[in-house]
């Protein structure tokens, strides 16, 4: 396995077929105890930092695969892909603006944050989920700027997702 989470000659990742929320639960139930045990044996800051780096690398690779599967890396395709993350009410979102150059929305309910709290892993929630968002977009389309100033996971009332195509090819 490489540092992007890829196994050479492995079939493509289809785990999102079970739903991203369920996937995150399976991941958290496995990685949470592994990280806790590693942190007992080694420098805990370094363990969690390295885990975060690997997760971000995986997200970047997943973003590129998502764009390839969609056959399009524009903001419209990104908006269409949200159905994987919102399935089953996993996220409740309010779209504020959606054009070819801008996609802005707020997450008003995040069952991912609720899940991590229920599992006793609230402190890992950002590492396991939120920190993937920017890297996913880097892999999906490096010409799109992603900003978010707050998250429900971090205690805010909502998450503010803002995407802007800085090179719309015009």
Location of structure tokens 């504020």: 96
Mode of pairing for the β-strands spanning 159-165 and 144-147: antiparallel
Question: What is the DSSP code string of 115-131?
Answer: HHHHTT-HHHHIIIIIT
| Secondary structure of residue 92 in the 3-state scheme | strand
- Which range of residues forms the domain containing residue 75? 15-165
- Please report, for the domain that includes residue 109, its CATH number: 3.30.1380
How do residues 152-164 score in pLDDT, each as one tens digit? Answer: 999 999 999 999 9
- Is residue 76 included in any domain, yes or no? yes
Instruction: Tell whether the torsion through CA atoms of 136, 5, 72 and 14 is positive or negative.
Output: negative
Report yes or no on 2 lying in a domain.
Answer: no
Give pTM, 2 decimals.
Answer: 0.85
89-93: average pLDDT: 96
Is residue 4 assigned to a domain? no
Domain count, the chain: 1
Residue 11: predicted pLDDT: 57
Show Cβ contacts of residue 147 under 8 Å, excluding neighbours closer than 6 positions: 162, 164
Please write the tens of the pLDDT for every residue from 42-75.
Answer: 999 999 999 999 999 999 999 999 999 999 999 9
**pLDDT value for 18:** 76
Is 170 contained in some domain?
no
Whether residue 7 lies inside any domain: the answer is no
């Amino acid at each position: 396995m490489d540092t992007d989470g890829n196994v050479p000659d492995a079939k493509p990742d289809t785990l999102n077929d079970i739903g991203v929320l369920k996937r995150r639960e399976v991941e958290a139930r496995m990685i949470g105890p592994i990280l806790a045990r590693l942190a007992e044996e080694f420098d805990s800051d370094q363990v969690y930092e390295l885990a975060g780096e690997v997760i971000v690398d995986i997200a970047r690779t997943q973003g590129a695969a998502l764009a390839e599967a969609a056959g399009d890396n524009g903001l419209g395709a990104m908006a269409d892909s949200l159905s994987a993350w919102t399935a089953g009410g996993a996220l409740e979102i309010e779209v504020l603006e959606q054009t070819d150059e801008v996609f802005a929305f707020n997450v008003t309910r995040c069952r991912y944050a609720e899940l991590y709290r229920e599992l006793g892993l609230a402190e890992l929630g950002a590492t396991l989920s939120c920190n993937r968002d920017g890297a996913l977009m880097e892999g999906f389309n490096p010409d799109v700027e992603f900003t978010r100033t707050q998250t429900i996971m971090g205690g805010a009332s909502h998450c503010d997702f803002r995407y802007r195509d800085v090179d719309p090819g015009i």
